């Protein structure tokens, strides 16, 4: 809190000079590079990291055990049943895919829109995207009865002369998600190249030099390199942009193409995309706030970043709320028995508490973001983002399970009860995700060094030297400001 | 692969041999080819131990399995291995093509009474039971129990060795000992010999027993059958002074009154009665008359569900109601007993309606009702002029009708006074089924020598020195009378798997004719009876499944003048009553080790794997406080304790809409202690409360709530539904409404089917056949026969209670039950639900790998090999008829169960989706036949398994492209509608809405706008 207070004070003093900066005062090229690279290149590993990584790794082991048992025994170890054919598996899939949306949005769309504040969060948001997509991908791959035959979903030449069914939204999913995963990985990796070169140059040990050297693909930082690099990066940003919209649109088709009341809705694509961005930003905050605190990155991930993300969440949250309202409206307006019952069952049926918890988490609590004080408070933002993470999971539960468990013929209605393996699989993927996150922050620069360098006043000074002479010449080069960590 | 093929493939075998390298030896040609068959032979060296466990394999089961393996592995050395012929047919038998099934006529006896069957066998393996169209009791249908009995043949838990106090003995040793014992009895005229059998309606066996009794005049023969009551026998005695067999002509009856009789699904002749009933109520082809059915009963039965007016009344109060109706109809003089206002009104209307239909009505008393009720029913039928019209009397079909309970009581007394020296029990399980107060077991142990012949080494075998494994009816010769007296020869279709002996063969031993085979015995008996050329008649009888001219002639009996004087004064039976009924799936316990039957959802309750204490919502809420007001279903599974006659049992409660108040129905057949791996220890044992004085029902029991819960597995959840009316899944009307405007109620304006063009995807063109099905809900009696037929035909796995509880049962066909109206006396509707083969099938669109596709004849085909198991199709199915193999449900390990499987249907493995195929294997079979003859498939040539066995003829299958086909004509009926057709899936299976024929005097029952689901 004390840090926050201090920051607020600093920003207030900067307010006189235009919008608050996206980087703390007093930074130079050298200090930025030093600060970010040192997290990766320092000798020895911090105890806190070890503990966090250890716990996450245990979670990942739990997931691996579950998967092994699952493949040997069959997905009957989960709680899915004849009526509720999809449950935790697809809930988790959609949840993780949703989380995976913030990265690309921040990297690509905000880049194209020249939102310079994205710079300090894009790298780890992209990493988060990638890891979330990896977690998401596990579920459709493993939720099938015979996972060893999953490759049949790909259109490959085969002796059976069989194509997949191009009418099936699951088929579209395969393309959408695999494209998204590929493009996100490429985008992330390309963004890393200049920084990998920096690490190569700064590394002291031989092994690091070799590994970072190979990953840097011979980057020398020549003007030609930079020119081609910028073009490639922009092109990829252009390529990723439609993906932000398409992936969750297509994931929403899994439901809206179906005929089940509660699935069959035209509002799903926009409402799912907004939900995904909502979830993604919540997750960025959930991860970003502790990392910023732990590594003392307050200067790079400033309160302005947090505030902006809070505003995005508030906006997308309202879109999601509109989606819920429209579901209710159409249940009534369509005069369709099944739709009406679906909504009634959601709100008052046996899973009523899930629905109202969802409203609490996704609609009620985030309204606190209207209040400036809460947008400024890291603690409040963290708490609210956790609410949204939970709420978005509940939203998928409501859509998938409560729609299926009571659909058309009452004779088939039933309840869904998860088993212990549903939970070990879900929490296991969280462990897997965090394991990857911990590895990422340890071995790769979690904030883009070269892009941050463009943020320091030095850069501005050099590029605008003659355009704005009235800017004060800011601190002299050198004098890296080590964080207390 | 048959051995014949094997030898034809010698070239291939040589090639395989050529590939072998090094020290690889082979033992026979079979092994080289690595055929299933060879493995089969290898397996048979060891008795099969693996079963479907009731619960997942736990430590206890594992230990049991291991110890059994050890024990039985030792035993195999003692038995002679069956002969294995390794030579192919030089000249194959006529009409036999390997791989093509053959049908043999035989019969299945329950309570001694025969049901004519055809058994489908593949290369000598019986795989499926169907009804025999030439048999008067079957007319082509087979009951659920009869169909399940084929699994009993292969039950790995069947008794496999002859034993003396646990030791394995040879048949010869048994012969010596039993002969000595009988000879000893012969010296004393058989004074110490008792023979205990189940009800015998087999002429041959009857003659054998009678001849033994003639030899040993002081020996006694006792018959005891827990599944049927003494009421019919004693009631006839009361009314006519003699035993008679009553046959109903339902097709002649315009008004039927059932007094606690579930005549459509249980008891002798049920299949026939269901057929006649449905014909009488068939409102198709312009016919618009139906009979009217009144049912008074305690537990809601399928018959009660079909009633136009049903009165829930305690079983003990049925007599009062019957007397009131008899008084009003003029069959009984004196004062009518006091009834409640509802019952009074009901009785008056029924009596008036009966009187209006003199000679065209029938009163049917329930098998388990008291003799008095039967006598009153006889009196009513006689007074109303039904005798000879709708009710026909014949001589008894039983060989020797007796008061079974009294006979058993006498036997126990004899045993206790140590007058019995040798007891021979042929079939049955009296230690388990005898009335509790007789203390049968204690008495049994006083007998020096006890012999038990039975299919299983069961509760009774445990206490008999000699246990003889019984041959299954598909393994042994025999004969039995059907409900009308027609005799069927029970023809074996397979050699005894475990050297079992039939009751006939054991009787031959007692008669010192041990060398005679079952075939000799039955043939010799009939040789003396059949007139004309014996061989011709005999062969025809075997082929047709019924011996000609053996149906018993109708006989005229007259009511005793003073019959009414035998009626005891009515006692006011207060308090809660308990009613004992054989379980609809496992009967008196004899089918309890069959996974199919355990998993078969019982009619109305939809319970599987357990019995429960069935009670009315009012009793559960108001009387026992098991559930809060308005939420009676919360009582389900709560434990209660029932005390009667000083004995106590604990049972889980289950609320049944329409059950009579203050009445609890207990199903027999559960709580067994020695039944096999499937059945031991499941459910509670209701026999513990059943006394000799009140074998059918008892009032004034003490019921306490013991607290605690028990998890019951039901396949249909229970809850009130709003808007069920709106869904119009069940469309129904009264006959009057139908006559006024046939179509209106079945096609409400807001439920129109969307036009064909209203679809994103193009429509399929069907140029050849287009298969379709129509199910007449007016006919369906909810008897479950189709569910078992589907199970047997399509190799559907049994998943066990835990999986049913998790809602993963695999039945391709289920019978949905819906209630309408007040929860205390609702109207009940059955709707068989199976894949609807939609023309715009939602499942086909969403499968990513094209594993479910449309074929050129409109079938929605599931390709198991292609299925990866995303379950998207099942989610998107509005009927929820798709079934997913969440785990490996099919038993891949038990060798004997493999023999039962239908070779024409794949055995599905884990991870694939499955569902009704419209019996595509039968369609293909007909197609091949028709193409061989270069013609189109004839209407009615393809009969699906469910259709084939339906006693009510409710299911019709055929080509909807052919305007002349039966199914096309039914689809034009005004009652025809598609369930959920308004969502645009265009189902190929359609339903004919149900009609009821209410009596205007009673008003239409329960037309409240409230639905609930059970």
Could you tell me where the DSSP H helices lie in B338-384? 341-356, 371-383
Residue B949's alpha-carbon distances to A236, B100, B129, B955, in angstroms, are: 66, 20, 9, 9
Tell me what the mean pLDDT of segment B89-96 comes to.
72
The secondary structure of residue B406, as a DSSP letter, is H
**DSSP characters over B951-991:** TT--EEEEETTSTTSHHHHHHTSTTEE-TTGGGT---SEEE
Q: Is the dihedral of CA A206, A211, A216, A218 positive or negative?
A: positive
Q: For B830, which residue in chain A has the nearest alpha carbon?
A: A411
Question: What is the reported pLDDT for B719?
Answer: 64
Buried b (16+ CB within 10 A) or exposed e, A156-179: eeeeeeeebbebbbbbbbbbbbeb
> What CA–CA distance (Å, rounded) separates A121 from A124?
6
Q: In terms of Cα–Cα distance, which of B141, B653, B223, B707 is closest to B428?
A: B223
Residues B876, A259: C-beta atoms closer than 8 Å: yes
pLDDT tens string B377-423: 999 999 998 988 899 999 999 989 999 999 999 999 999 998 889 99
What is the β-pairing status of strands B719-721 and B1011-1013? antiparallel
pTM: 0.86
Q: Measured between beta carbons, which residues in chain B are less than 8 angstroms from residue A81?
A: 806-808, 886
> What CA–CA distance (Å, rounded) separates A182 from A179?
5
Q: How confident is the model at residue A43 (pLDDT cuts 50, 70, 90)?
A: confident
Across A228-237, A419-428, B752-761, the highest mean pLDDT is recorded for A419-428
For B569, the token pair is 């004064």
Measured between CB atoms, does B717 come within 8 Å of chain A? yes
Distance from CA of A260 to the nearest CA of B (A): 6
What is the β-pairing status of strands B487-490 and B292-297? unpaired
Q: Measured between beta carbons, which residues in chain A are less than 8 angstroms from residue B981?
A: none
Measured between CB atoms, does A80 come within 8 Å of chain B? yes
Nearest by CB: A171 against B848, B876, B980 = B848
Residue A255's alpha-carbon distances to A94, B113, B317, in angstroms, are: 11, 55, 55
Measured between CB atoms, does B812 come within 8 Å of chain A? no
Phi, psi for A332 (deg, rounded to 5):
-85, -45
Measured between CB atoms, does A82 come within 8 Å of chain B? yes
Q: For A155, which residue in chain B has the nearest alpha carbon?
A: B849
Residues A168, B845: C-beta atoms closer than 8 Å: yes
pLDDT tens string B438-495: 999 999 999 999 999 999 999 999 899 999 999 999 999 999 999 999 999 999 988 8
Report B:849-878 residues touching A (Cβ under 8 A). Answer: 849-850, 866-872, 874-876, 878
Measured between CB atoms, does A81 come within 8 Å of chain B? yes
pLDDT tens string B249-307: 999 999 999 999 999 999 888 999 999 999 999 888 888 889 999 999 999 999 999 99
SS3 letters across A64-114: HHHHHHHHHHCHHHCCCCCCCCCCHHHHHHHHHHHHCHHHHHHHHHHHHCC
Site from A160, A340, A410 to mutate, B interface, most B CB atoms within 10 angstroms? A410
Say yes or no: ipTM exceeds 0.90: no
Residue listed under structure tokens 């299983």: B456
Check whether A89 has a pLDDT greater than 50: yes
Q: How confident is the model at residue A39 (pLDDT cuts 50, 70, 90)?
A: confident
Question: Would you say domain B576-714 falls under CATH 3.30.565.10?
Answer: no
Check whether B1005 has a pLDDT greater than 90: no
Pick the CATH number of B245-394 from 3.30.750.24, 3.40.228.10, 3.40.50.2300, 3.20.20.80: 3.40.228.10
Could you tell me where the DSSP H helices lie in A257-377? 268-294, 303-333, 337-348, 352-359, 372-376
Question: What is the reported pLDDT for B627?
Answer: 87
Nearest by CB: B729 against A153, A174, A409 = A409
> What CA–CA distance (Å, rounded) separates B305 from B298?
12
Check whether A105 has a pLDDT greater than 90: no
Measured between CB atoms, does B759 come within 8 Å of chain A? no
Q: Measured between beta carbons, which residues in chain B are less than 8 angstroms from residue A404?
A: 875
Distance from CA of B531 to the nearest CA of A (A): 56
End-to-end C-alpha distance for chain A, whole angstroms: 17
Bridge partners of B294, per DSSP, are B257, B309
Q: Which residue has the higher pLDDT, B720 or B177?
A: B177
> What CA–CA distance (Å, rounded) separates B702 from B696?
17
Site from A82, A141, A177, A260 to mutate, B interface, most B CB atoms within 10 angstroms? A82
Tell me what the mean pLDDT of segment B122-126 comes to.
87
> What CA–CA distance (Å, rounded) separates A310 from A316?
10
Q: Measured between beta carbons, which residues in chain A are less than 8 angstroms from residue B722?
A: 341, 344
Site from A261, A344, A409, A413 to mutate, B interface, most B CB atoms within 10 angstroms? A409
> What CA–CA distance (Å, rounded) separates B983 from A210?
64
Q: Measured between beta carbons, which residues in chain A are less than 8 angstroms from residue B849?
A: 152-153, 162, 164-165
Contacts (Cβ under 8 Å, ≥6 apart) of A230:
none
The secondary structure of residue A24, as a DSSP letter, is -
Q: Which residue has the higher pLDDT, A24 or B394?
A: B394
Q: Are B887 and B878 in contact (CB under 8 A)?
A: no
Bridge partners of B422, per DSSP, are B193, B449
What is the β-pairing status of strands B638-644 and B576-582? unpaired
Domain spans of chain B, in order of start: 3-78, 245-394, 576-714, 719-1013
pLDDT tens string B837-855: 999 899 999 999 999 999 9
Nearest by CB: A411 against B833, B875, B882 = B833
Question: What is the reported pLDDT for B63?
Answer: 65
Q: For A149, which residue in chain B has the nearest alpha carbon?
A: B868
Report A:295-354 residues touching B (Cβ under 8 A). Answer: 337-338, 340-341, 344
Measured between CB atoms, does B181 come within 8 Å of chain A? no
Coil, helix or strand at residue B749: helix
Residues A341, B723: C-beta atoms closer than 8 Å: yes
Residues A167, B807: C-beta atoms closer than 8 Å: no
pLDDT tens string B38-85: 455 445 444 444 444 455 556 666 666 666 665 555 444 455 555 655
Residues A410, B870: C-beta atoms closer than 8 Å: no
Q: How confident is the model at residue A9 (pLDDT cuts 50, 70, 90)?
A: very low
Report A:395-414 residues touching B (Cβ under 8 A). Answer: 404, 407-414
Q: In terms of Cα–Cα distance, which of B116, B354, B282 is closest to B781?
A: B282
Q: Are B738 and B283 in contact (CB under 8 A)?
A: yes
Residues B878, A259: C-beta atoms closer than 8 Å: yes
Tell me what the mean pLDDT of segment B1004-1013 comes to.
44
pLDDT tens string B308-359: 999 999 999 999 999 999 998 888 888 888 888 889 999 999 999 999 999 8
SS3 letters across B8-53: HCHHHHHHHHHHCCCCCCCCCHHHHHCCHHHHHHHHHCCCCCCCCC
Check whether B921 has a pLDDT greater than 80: yes
Q: How confident is the model at residue A481 (pLDDT cuts 50, 70, 90)?
A: very low
Nearest by CB: B886 against A74, A258, A340 = A74
Residue B581's alpha-carbon distances to A243, A480, B368, B614, in angstroms, are: 65, 90, 8, 11
Pick the CATH number of B719-1013 from 3.40.50.720, 3.30.70.20, 3.40.50.2000, 3.90.230.10: 3.30.70.20
pLDDT tens string A443-475: 888 888 887 777 777 666 665 554 444 444 443
Q: Are B206 and B507 in contact (CB under 8 A)?
A: no
Question: What is the reported pLDDT for B65?
Answer: 61
Q: Measured between beta carbons, which residues in chain A are less than 8 angstroms from residue B1013?
A: 410-411, 413
Q: Measured between beta carbons, which residues in chain B are less than 8 angstroms from residue A82?
A: 807-809, 874, 880, 882-884
Domain spans of chain A, in order of start: 20-155+163-455
Nearest by CB: A145 against B816, B848, B868 = B868
> What CA–CA distance (Å, rounded) separates B873 from B850?
11
Residue listed under structure tokens 């579920």: A139
What is the β-pairing status of strands B732-734 and B994-996? parallel
Q: In what order do the strands lie in the sheet with B255-259?
A: B309-312, B292-297, B255-259, B361-365
Q: In terms of Cα–Cα distance, which of B56, B77, B59 is closest to B67?
A: B59
Tell me what the mean pLDDT of segment A399-407 comes to.
92
Q: What is the mean pLDDT of chain B?
A: 86
Q: What is the mean pLDDT of chain A?
A: 84
Question: What is the reported pLDDT for B559?
Answer: 87
């Amino acid at each position: 809190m004390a840090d926050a207070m201090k920051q607020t004070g600093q920003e207030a003093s900067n307010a006189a000079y235009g919008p608050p900066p996206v980087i703390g005062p007093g930074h130079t090229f050298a200090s930025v590079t030093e600060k970010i690279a040192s997290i990766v290149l320092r000798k020895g590993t911090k105890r806190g990291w070890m503990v966090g990584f250890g716990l996450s790794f245990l979670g990942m082991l739990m997931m691996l055990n579950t998967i092994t048992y699952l493949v040997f025994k069959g997905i009957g170890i989960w709680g899915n049943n004849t009526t509720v054919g999809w449950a935790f598996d697809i809930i988790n899939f959609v949840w993780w895919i949703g989380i995976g949306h913030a990265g690309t949005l921040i990297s690509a769309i905000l880049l194209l829109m020249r939102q310079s504040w994205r710079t300090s969060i894009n790298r780890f948001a992209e990493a988060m995207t990638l890891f979330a997509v990896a977690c998401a991908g596990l579920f459709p791959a493993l939720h099938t009865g015979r996972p060893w035959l999953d490759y049949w979903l790909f259109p490959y030449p085969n002796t059976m002369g069989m194509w997949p069914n191009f009418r099936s939204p699951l088929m579209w999913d395969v393309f959408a998600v695999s494209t998204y995963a590929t493009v996100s990985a490429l985008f992330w990796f390309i963004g890393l190249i200049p920084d990998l070169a920096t690490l190569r140059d700064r590394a002291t040990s031989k092994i690091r030099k070799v590994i970072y050297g190979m990953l840097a693909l011979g980057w020398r930082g020549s003007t030609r390199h930079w020119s081609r690099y910028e073009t490639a990066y922009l092109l990829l940003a252009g390529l990723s942009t439609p993906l932000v919209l398409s992936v969750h649109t297509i994931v929403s088709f899994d439901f809206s193409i179906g005929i089940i009341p509660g699935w069959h809705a035209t509002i799903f694509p926009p409402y799912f995309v907004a939900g995904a961005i909502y979830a993604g930003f919540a997750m960025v905050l959930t991860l970003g706030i502790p990392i910023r605190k732990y590594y003392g990155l307050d200067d790079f991930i400033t309160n302005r970043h947090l505030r902006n993300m809070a505003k995005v969440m508030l906006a997308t949250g309202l879109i999601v709320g509109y989606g819920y309202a429209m579901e209710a409206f159409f249940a009534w307006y369509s005069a369709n028995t099944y739709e009406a019952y679906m909504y009634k069952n959601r709100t008052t049926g046996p899973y009523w508490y899930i629905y109202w918890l969802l409203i609490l988490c996704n609609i009620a609590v985030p309204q606190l973001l209207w209040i400036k004080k809460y947008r400024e408070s890291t603690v409040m933002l963290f708490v609210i983002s956790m609410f949204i993470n939970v709420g978005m999971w509940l939203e998928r539960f409501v859509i998938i399970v409560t729609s299926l468990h009571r659909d058309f013929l009452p004779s088939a209605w039933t309840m869904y009860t998860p088993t212990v393996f549903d939970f070990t699989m879900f929490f296991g993927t969280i462990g897997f995700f965090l394991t990857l996150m911990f590895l990422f922050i340890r071995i790769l620069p979690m904030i883009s060094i070269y892009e941050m360098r463009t943020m320091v006043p030095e850069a501005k000074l050099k590029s605008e030297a003659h355009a704005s002479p009235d800017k004060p010449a800011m601190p002299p080069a050198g004098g890296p400001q080590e964080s207390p960590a | 692969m048959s051995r014949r093929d094997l030898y034809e493939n010698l070239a291939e075998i040589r090639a395989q041999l050529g590939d072998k390298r090094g020290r690889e030896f082979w033992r026979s040609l079979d092994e080289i080819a690595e055929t299933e068959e060879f493995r089969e032979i290898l397996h048979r060296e060891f008795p099969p131990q693996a079963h479907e466990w009731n619960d997942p394999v736990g430590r206890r089961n594992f230990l049991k399995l291991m110890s059994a393996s050890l024990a039985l592995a030792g035993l195999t050395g003692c038995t002679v291995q069956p002969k294995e012929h390794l030579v192919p047919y030089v000249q194959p038998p006529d009409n036999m093509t390997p791989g093509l099934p053959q049908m043999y006529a035989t019969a299945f006896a329950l309570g001694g009474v025969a049901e004519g069957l055809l058994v489908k066998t593949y290369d000598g393996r019986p795989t499926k039971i169907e009804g025999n169209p030439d048999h008067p009791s079957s007319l082509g249908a087979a009951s659920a129990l009869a169909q399940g009995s084929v699994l009993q043949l292969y039950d790995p838990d069947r008794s496999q060795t002859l034993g003396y106090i646990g030791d394995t003995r040879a048949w010869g040793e048994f012969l010596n000992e039993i002969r000595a014992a009988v000879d000893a009895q012969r010296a004393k005229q058989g004074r110490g010999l008792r023979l205990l059998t189940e009800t015998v309606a087999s002429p041959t066996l009857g003659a054998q027993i009678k001849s033994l009794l003639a030899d040993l005049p002081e020996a006694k023969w006792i018959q005891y059958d827990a599944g049927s009551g003494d009421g019919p026998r004693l009631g006839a005695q009361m009314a006519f002074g003699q035993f008679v067999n009553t046959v109903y002509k339902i097709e002649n009856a315009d008004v039927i009154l059932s007094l606690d009789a579930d005549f459509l699904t249980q008891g002798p002749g049920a299949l026939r009665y269901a057929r006649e009933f449905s014909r009488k109520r068939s409102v198709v082809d312009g016919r618009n008359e139906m009979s009217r059915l009144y049912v008074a009963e305690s537990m809601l039965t399928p018959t009660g569900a079909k009633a136009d007016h049903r009165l829930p009344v305690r079983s003990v109060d049925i007599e009062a109601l019957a007397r009131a109706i008899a008084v009003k109809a003029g069959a009984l003089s004196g004062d009518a007993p006091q009834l409640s206002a509802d019952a009074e009104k009901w009785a008056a209307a029924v009596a008036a309606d009966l009187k209006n239909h003199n000679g065209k009505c029938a009163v049917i008393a329930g098998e388990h009702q008291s003799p008095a009720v039967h006598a009153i029913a006889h009196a009513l039928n006689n007074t109303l002029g039904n005798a000879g019209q709708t009710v026909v009397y014949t001589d008894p079909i039983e060989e020797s009708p007796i008061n079974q309970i009294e006979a058993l009581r006498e036997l126990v007394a004899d045993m206790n006074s140590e007058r019995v020296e040798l007891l021979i029990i042929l079939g049955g399980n009296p230690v388990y089924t005898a009335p509790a107060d007789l203390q049968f077991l204690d008495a049994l142990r006083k007998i020096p020598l006890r012999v038990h012949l039975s299919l299983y080494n069961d509760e009774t075998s445990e206490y008999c020195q000699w246990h003889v494994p019984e041959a299954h009816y598909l393994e042994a010769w025999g004969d039995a009378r059907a409900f009308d007296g027609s005799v069927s020869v029970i023809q074996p279709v397979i050699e005894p798997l475990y050297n079992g002996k039939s009751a006939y063969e054991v009787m031959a031993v007692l008669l010192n004719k041990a060398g005679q085979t079952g075939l000799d015995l039955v043939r010799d008996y009939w040789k003396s009876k059949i007139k004309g050329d014996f061989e011709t008649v005999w062969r025809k009888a075997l082929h047709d499944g019924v011996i000609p001219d053996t149906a018993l002639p109708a006989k005229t009996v007259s009511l005793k003048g003073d019959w009414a004087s035998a009626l005891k004064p009515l006692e006011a039976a207060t308090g809660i009553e308990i009613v004992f009924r054989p379980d609809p799936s496992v009967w008196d316990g004899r089918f309890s080790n069959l996974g199919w039957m355990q998993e078969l959802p019982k009619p109305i309750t939809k319970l599987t794997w357990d019995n429960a204490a069935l009670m009315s919502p009012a009793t559960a809420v108001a009387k026992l406080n098991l559930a809060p007001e308005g939420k009676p279903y919360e009582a389900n599974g709560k434990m209660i304790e029932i005390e009667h006659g000083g004995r106590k049992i604990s049972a889980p409660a289950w609320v049944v809409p329409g059950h009579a108040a203050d009445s609890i129905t207990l199903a027999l057949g559960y709580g067994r202690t020695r039944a096999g791996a499937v059945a031991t220890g499941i459910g509670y044992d209701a026999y513990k409360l059943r006394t000799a004085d009140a074998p059918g029902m008892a009032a004034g029991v003490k019921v306490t709530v013991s607290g605690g819960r028990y998890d019951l597995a039901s396949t249909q959840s229970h809850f009130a539904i709003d808007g069920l009316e709106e869904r119009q899944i069940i469309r129904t009307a009264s006959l009057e409404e139908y006559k006024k405007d046939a179509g209106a109620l079945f096609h409400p304006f807001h439920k129109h089917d969307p036009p064909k063009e209203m679809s994103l995807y193009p429509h399929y063109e069907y140029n050849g056949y287009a298969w379709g099905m129509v199910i007449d809900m007016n006919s369906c009696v909810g008897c479950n026969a189709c569910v078992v037929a589907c199970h047997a035909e399509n190799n559907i796995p049994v998943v066990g209670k835990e999986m049913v509880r998790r809602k993963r049962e695999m039945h391709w066909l289920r019978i949905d039950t819906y209630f309408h109206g007040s929860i205390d006396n609702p109207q009940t509707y059955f709707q068989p639900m199976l894949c609807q083969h939609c023309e715009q099938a939602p499942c086909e669109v969403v499968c990513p790998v094209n594993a479910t596709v449309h074929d050129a004849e409109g079938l929605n085909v599931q390709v198991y090999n292609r299925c990866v198991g995303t379950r998207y199709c099942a989610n998107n199915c509005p009927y929820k008829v798709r079934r997913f193999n969440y785990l490996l449900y099919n038993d891949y390990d038990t060798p004997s169960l493999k023999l039962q499987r239908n070779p024409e249907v794949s055995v599905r493995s884990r991870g694939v989706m499955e569902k009704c195929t419209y019996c595509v294997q039968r369609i293909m079979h007909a197609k091949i036949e028709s193409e061989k003859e270069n013609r189109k498939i004839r209407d009615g040539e393809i009969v699906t398994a469910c259709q084939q066995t339906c006693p009510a003829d409710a299911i019709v299958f055929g080509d909807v492209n052919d305007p002349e086909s039966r199914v096309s004509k039914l689809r034009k009926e005004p009652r025809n509608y598609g369930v959920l057709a308004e969502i645009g899936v265009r189902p190929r299976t359609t339903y004919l809405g149900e009609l009821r024929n209410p009596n205007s005097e009673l008003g239409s029952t329960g037309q409240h706008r409230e639905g609930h689901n059970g």
